[in-house]
């Protein structure tokens, strides 16, 4: 297997109302979830049906809040910025001081995570590898971030960030991003072909695209189920993330 990669993380807390200025504890709770989920150490892996236990993957990625800032000064790995913006959109405004947010730290050295208020019911969004450095990273709704503080059910398991970091490491949605069709591909061989996204807490098996008897792998982090219904990456997804960390994101694995 590839060696374990440890990614330095900066969490940019951008707040308008006091409650959005989430605690250090809430940030730390998210890092804890990432380190369990990307090392196949999460306690809820027992939710994977027996037929898929052998394809559950250890992504071999670990995350640590940065201890040195871009100027070489000691840091907690958390920045805090007050904004006049009541809710951000998916237009990347939160990623720039000029538009009410805070600039990214160098994307070749840090995983940038912005935690803020988002409008329109969006839980989070990510930039795939290969995009502009200034907007690289993931954005997560503060109330879907971590497992304590403002984190609210059913998205208080830290899995929105797990899902977004999956995209950041080049994972596609498990249904192939073709709406409800059966022709889409997530470019991973060990995930079943699946029609569209699943929501909530489905009952296994849930079939689509003639993928019976086992059906959709709706407990995969790259589906849209509730935080307490998703629990795994596959071996194939782990390989795709390793390829990203050996390729376009190699500087983070230095
Ligand atoms: N809608 C978001 C995306 O496509 C994230 C969904 C996260 N789901 C969850 N159960 N936390 O990137
Ligand atoms: Zn997604
Ligand atoms: Ca599909």
Taking the C-alpha atoms of residue 14 and residue 80, their distance in angstroms, rounded to an integer, is 6
State the complex-level ipTM.
Answer: 0.93
Mutation choice for ligand 1 from 124, 154, 225, CB with most ligand atoms inside 8 A: 124
pLDDT at 254: 79
Taking the C-alpha atoms of residue 20 and residue 56, their distance in angstroms, rounded to an integer, is 35
115 pLDDT band (50/70/90 cuts)? Answer: very high
Binding site membership of 159 for ligand 1 (Cβ less than 6 Å): yes
Does position 69 have pLDDT exceeding 90, yes or no? yes
What does pLDDT average to over the chain?
Answer: 98
pLDDT at 1: 83
pLDDT at 140: 99
**Ligand 1: distance of its center to the CA of 131 in Å?**
20
pLDDT over 70, % of the chain: 100
Nearest CA to ligand 1 atom 9: 160
| pLDDT, average across residues 108-112 | 98
pLDDT at 2: 87
pLDDT over 90, % of the chain: 98
pLDDT at 238: 98
Which ligand is nearest the CA of 186, by number? 3
Output the 3-class SS for the chain.
Answer: CCCCEEEEEEEEEEECCHHHCCCHHHHHHHHHHHHHHCCCCCHHHHHCCHHHHHHECCCCEEEEECCECCCCCECCCEEEEECCCCCECCCCHHHCHHHCCCCCCCCCCCEEEEEECECCCCCEEECCCCCCHHHCCEEEEHHHCCCCCCCCCCCCCCHHHHHHHHHHCCCCCCCCCECECCCCCCCCCCCCCCCCCCEECCCCCCCCCCCCCCCCCCCECCCEECHHHCCECEHHHHHHHHHHHHCCCHHHHC
pLDDT at 75: 98
pLDDT at 45: 98
| pLDDT, average across residues 237-244 | 98
pLDDT at 68: 98
Binding site membership of 222 for ligand 1 (Cβ less than 6 Å): no
Binding site membership of 125 for ligand 1 (Cβ less than 6 Å): yes
């Amino acid at each position: 297997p590839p060696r374990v990669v440890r990614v330095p993380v900066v969490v940019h807390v951008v707040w308008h109302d006091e409650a959005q200025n989430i605690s250090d504890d809430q940030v730390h709770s998210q890092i804890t979830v990432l380190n369990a989920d990307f090392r196949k150490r999460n306690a809820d892996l027992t939710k994977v049906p027996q037929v898929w236990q052998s394809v559950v993957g250890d992504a071999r990625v670990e995350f640590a809040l940065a201890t040195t800032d871009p100027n070489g000064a000691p840091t907690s790995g958390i920045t805090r910025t007050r904004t006049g913006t009541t809710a951000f959109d998916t237009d990347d405004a939160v990623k720039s001081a000029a538009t009410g947010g805070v600039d990214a730290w160098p994307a070749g050295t840090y995983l940038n995570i912005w935690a803020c208020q988002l409008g329109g019911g969006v839980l989070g969004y990510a930039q795939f590898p290969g995009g502009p450095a200034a907007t690289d990273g993931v954005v997560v709704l503060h109330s879907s971030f971590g497992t304590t503080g403002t984190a609210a059910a059913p998205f208080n398991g830290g899995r929105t960030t797990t899902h977004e970091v999956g995209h950041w490491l080049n994972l596609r949605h498990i249904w192939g991003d073709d709406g409800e069709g059966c022709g889409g591909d997530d470019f991973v061989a060990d995930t079943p072909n699946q029609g569209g996204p699943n929501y909530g807490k489905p009952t296994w098996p849930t079939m689509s695209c003639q993928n019976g008897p086992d059906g959709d792998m709706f407990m995969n982090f790259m589906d849209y189920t509730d935080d307490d219904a998703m629990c795994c990456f596959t071996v194939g997804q782990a390989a795709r993330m390793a390829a990203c960390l050996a390729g376009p994101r190699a500087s983070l694995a230095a």
